[in-house]
Chain A
Amino acid sequence: MKILVCVKEVIDPEVPVSSIDIDSNGWKFVPKQGVSTVLNGFDENAIEAALQLKESIGDVEISVLSLGKDFSMDVIKKPLSMGCQNLFLVKDDILETSDSFVIVNVLYETINKIGPFDLILCGRHASDWDNAQVPIGLAEKLNLDCVTLAKSIECNNNNITIERVISGGIEVLKSELPVLITVSNEYGEPRYPNLRGIMTAGKIQPQFFSLEDLGISANDINNINEITDIYIPEKNSNCEFIKGEDEYDIGRNLALKLRDKNLI
């Protein structure tokens, strides 16, 4: 069985807003010096799901695919250290400012070259643009069924059972390979790479593609969404801080205040 996991390197979502500049020329995030990038957290959940399928089925080869202008090898090779077998990277400057539609087309052409795959896994969304469109768009383009927000995946021959997170509960679905599934953080914590994994990953060379290798010319790259502004939303900071003789008293005064304002 061949599994593909699509991943993205993103600015660490835990860093404060002040660590990121916005470049209005093409509208991109520029991390300030010293601000690190990480593997998108939900993509790590997808990697974990792929690795657990490999452990339960046995004969599974996991390939990882990413696109970008540049890659930090420490970050982008993490899936290999976690236990994946192959890494495919599409590198082009233009991909830095491409919208979901361009990205889906490039993923599609890459998969035509390196695929086919029985199962494609993606994180539920990337923590930078929060779009949650690329996986679903890719499924549409590949004419695959798509199941989003998986919290568990079981595979038995061609049959696959997925539990997905919905508001108010979970939904249980069955499908057949090939299918595309997006994985949510409810799947559970991704594993840490161990020393042997890191050693193995060190020996695997990623395979690079240019857009030209994929038969895509610059004329084919057209965003269909135009960003006209990016800004930090205004906050009102008119918070009234409750006073008191000590912290117990602050708690007491808070309750009295809420009663006074008819909030409780």
Chain B
Amino acid sequence: MNKVLVLAELNGNDLDNGVFELLSLLNNLNVSNDEITVCVLGDNLQDKDGILKQIPCSKILAHSNIDTNNLNPNILSKLASSMIEDLQPNKILISKTNLGQDLAPRLAFKFGWGLVNDCLNIEKNENNDWTGIRPIFGGNFMSKINIKTPTEIYCVRPKVFDSLTDKTISPEIEYKQFTNDLETKTKVLKRINEQSEGIKLEDADIVIAGGRGLGGPEPFETLDEIAGLLNAAVGASRAVCDAGWMDHSYQIGLTGKNISPNLYLTVAISGASQHMAGCGNSKHIVSIDKNVEANIFNDAEFGAIGDWKNILPGFLDTLKDLVKE
């Protein structure tokens, strides 16, 4: 029997979707509800049991420490540690969010436990031992990892698993005051949300993105025009952002945004695995590129080979006609 601790994250009133995905992964592994405790991190949790009750699990442990300075990882690693000491789990699952990607290694090194970071899946062998699968070398290779310590930590990439929706189960919530030692010299002063015109990249049903092959910032005006017609968001590869053609807030990939739209349309993106790490969960990938050997066509469903300077006008003109209809 496992004793699994799942970390959930409540940012203001916004429950991060990761917990639903982690519960879905545990469901795939046939872990039963009585083996799972969801530990919630956030501010003023006592007032938010209506939100916490949405989590499809049977046990929730929430801290009643009021202020965590906007989910400051330096504070929350102390709180999460106390929760772990309280529960003594043998498995810990964390979603790789802004917070989770800091928290998981902190906890691993604090307790001396093994961690599979950026985990894409967990396999179970005949002895019920778990093996974590994670991408390495920018996703060019996959590795399988067995953790040799009594407690195992998995930090799971978001948007890989569908959310678990089980309306039949309702959690019991226990509030507990954990450590009072939440002092840290690092303080979050403020968060500045990026001003995106139109639809947010992460939420868009259709994303159109451009790569280094566009040669400069100007062609993004055409991508903007197409995006306007399709109600899509515009993204870019890292090369484009590092070159300053587009702001880094547009960057898709391992070190940028992780998107999962229904349609991902790429223009002049070769599809290095570091890029695919941020868009591999798109439902349909469609690509325009001059190089038929480009990596992107391993993932694309439809491809258009040629110079984007000639292909895009044909695409755009036809799109305008289709929209008129």
Contacts and interface: CB of A to CB of B under 8 A. Distances in A.
Nearest to A175: B186
Contacts of A127: 137-138
Interface in A1-38: 11, 13, 17, 20, 22, 27, 29
A129 B248 contact: no
A17 B184 CA distance: 43
Interface in B138-163: 138-149
B141 A230 contact: yes
B102 A166 contact: no
Number of chain B interface residues as a range: 35 or more
Contacts of B194: 168-170
A166 B190 CA distance: 12
A132 B108 CA distance: 12
A251 B146 contact: no
Interface in B241-277: 242, 248-249, 254-255, 257-258, 262-263, 274
Number of chain A interface residues as a range: 35 or more
Contact of B145 (A132, A148, A226): A226
Nearest to B290: A247
The secondary structure that dominates the A interface is: mixed
A231 B138 contact: no
Interface in A208-226: 223-226
B171 interface: no
A250 interface: yes
A94 interface: no
Given A254-B311, A255-B319, A263-B262, A225 B148 contact: yes
Interface string B218-258: 00000000000010000000100010000011000011011
Contact of A189 (B242, B305, B310): B242
A39 interface: no
Interface string A237-264: 1111110101111111111111101011
Contacts of B116: 225
Nearest to B149: A224
A116 B212 CA distance: 43
B186 A167 contact: no
B188 A173 contact: yes
B285 to A, nearest CB: 9
A145 B184 contact: yes
Contacts of B254: 130
8 contacts: A133-B109, A140-B77, A174-B189, A225-B146, A231-B142, A248-B311, A251-B314, A251-B318
Interface of A: 11, 13, 17, 20, 22, 27, 29, 100-101, 104, 124, 127-133, 136-137, 139-141, 145-148, 151, 161, 165-176, 179, 184-186, 189, 223-233, 235-242, 244, 246-259, 261, 263-264
